[in-house]
Amino acid sequence: MNAQGSLAGRTALITGGAAGIGRATAILLAGHGAAVAIADLNQAGARDVAVEIEADGGRAIAIGCDVTRSDDCRRAVVKAVDAFGGLDILVNNAGIIRRADVVETTEDEWDRVMAVNVKSVFLMGKFAVPVMATGRGGSIVNIASGWGLKGGARAASYCASKGAVVILTRAMAIDHGPQNIRVNCVCPGDTDTGMLVDEARQLGEADDVFRIEAAARPLNRLGQPLDIANAILWLVSDGAAWVTGTSLIVDGGGLA
């Protein structure tokens, strides 16, 4: 998609939009004409992104949101609709990682990872789908991971959660296709975000060494947030009008 304004007249709600992939996606979709609602637990960070978008001539609002709480998810959808008149795009990007095997992982850690990474997709979909269904339909993109398609070491809860996102995406695509709602997921490889830094810290590895190891893939570099945002942009665009229920791997060839 090269033409600016290709998403003109559409509204996008992005969770975890204050930083990383979410921030890049919010800015990119706004640059293509979408009005953007940025939902994040870090409301100040979300506000900074909204200000940046508006300074560039776009339309955006920031919403403080804990994606594990039903009331917060409902309120985020309502605020997006109230601000922009509808909802056409939902990007479920909020996520966390715990680098530990099942023995090392505490029950609270397991529950937290599953709540942020999986329950949030359920909750946001629960409130967004009826709005999309009463309009012209819509597009939902869930952010999974390459580790949602294959296993990874010392990441049991994360792998389980992202595998659940992949299958939940397919189930939602089946259920809501008749309402003209497309549901897809993106499976990124290691991407240069705060989460990658947090992984190195959890594993007790030096950040620079961890980055070098993570870049060991056919394209020989880490992913950048914009790499993932570009994939999301295509999935929510009319160019992907016959694409639903798919898992798009964006990882520089790592899974290959």
Return the ∠ at Cα 190 (arms to 184 and 196), rounded to 5°. Answer: 115
| Token pair listed for 195 | 């989460």
What residues contact 255, with CB distance under 8 A and at least 6 apart?
146, 149, 150, 187, 189, 249
Element (H, E) at 247: strand 247-250
158 is catalytic: yes
Residues 94, 50: Cα–Cα separation, whole Å: 17
HEC secondary structure over 35-48:
EEEEEECCHHHHHH
- Cα 170 to chain centroid, rounded: 16
140 forms bridges with which residues in the sheet? 90, 183
* 156 close to 113: Cβ distance less than 8 angstroms: no
Catalytic residue among 20, 158, 184, 191: 158
Residues 171, 232: Cα–Cα separation, whole Å: 19
Which are the catalytic amino acids?
158
